[in-house]
A and B are shown apart, each in its own frame.
Chain A
Amino acid sequence: MTWALHHIGYLTDDLEAEAARWCADFGYQRDGEIYTDPAQTAKVCFLRLQGADHWLELVTPDGPSSKLAHALRQQSTFHHLCYEVPNVAAALAALRERGWLPLGPPAAAIAFGGRPVAWIMDQRRVLIELVEAGEGPYQQRALRAPK
């Protein structure tokens, strides 16, 4: 199994204001539109530093009943790490053997052109997202391709 850092997930209550702040303070650039994903009960957008091999994902609840609303109330801003893996199901099985617990079955993610994502957590409450490598937007391997 190979694990490539795909993005860092940052939780916010205001995508536009947060994006402007990261761009102004650290030189990030917006990469793509804002995506609404009902399966994730979230709106997301991606930022990237020039030359970086991963994204910063800004995440906000898509409404008051979002699964993310509780975490936002707890001000858990740095929310998750996402790794791109060759096969999400195989990665889930490997992490399950190491004591991690999947939060649910893999689901197609709108922002990634339908590539499957899954969530997994351990006893330290570390939250990890897994996204399957493949065709579509936001391919981590494309950032690593030789220039």
Chain B
Amino acid sequence: MNTMTQEEKIQRLGKIFQDVLDLPGLRLTENFSTADCPEWDSVATVQIVLATEDAFGVRVSVENVATLHSVREILALLP
């Protein structure tokens, strides 16, 4: 986990975002945010965070999922 580069993390997150948002052609970037994607609502955020925990084998600490609005903020949850 600690040896993953930022690009590798974004690549892994990309598959999660494609599945959760049902956007198979999505090319994820660090700057991707809820403002770019009407499908990314609060329910999708929960699904993204839970799938991220599974994919990265971590349990993230998040006080309020409603405050997560970008890939950058989700990357910040990862060790």
Contacts and interface: CB of A to CB of B under 8 A. Distances in A.
A31 interface: no
A7 B72 CA distance: 38
Nearest to A122: B50
Interface residues of A, number: 14
B36 interface: no
Q: Taking chain B's interface residues, is the majority helix, strand, or loop, or is none over half, making it mixed?
A: helix
B47 A125 contact: yes
A79 to B, nearest CB: 11
Q: Taking chain A's interface residues, is the majority helix, strand, or loop, or is none over half, making it mixed?
A: loop
A105 B67 CA distance: 12
Interface of B: 41-43, 46-47, 49-51, 53, 59, 62-66
Given A102-B65, A123-B47, 8 more contacts: A70-B41, A96-B59, A101-B50, A103-B65, A123-B50, A123-B51, A125-B43, A125-B46
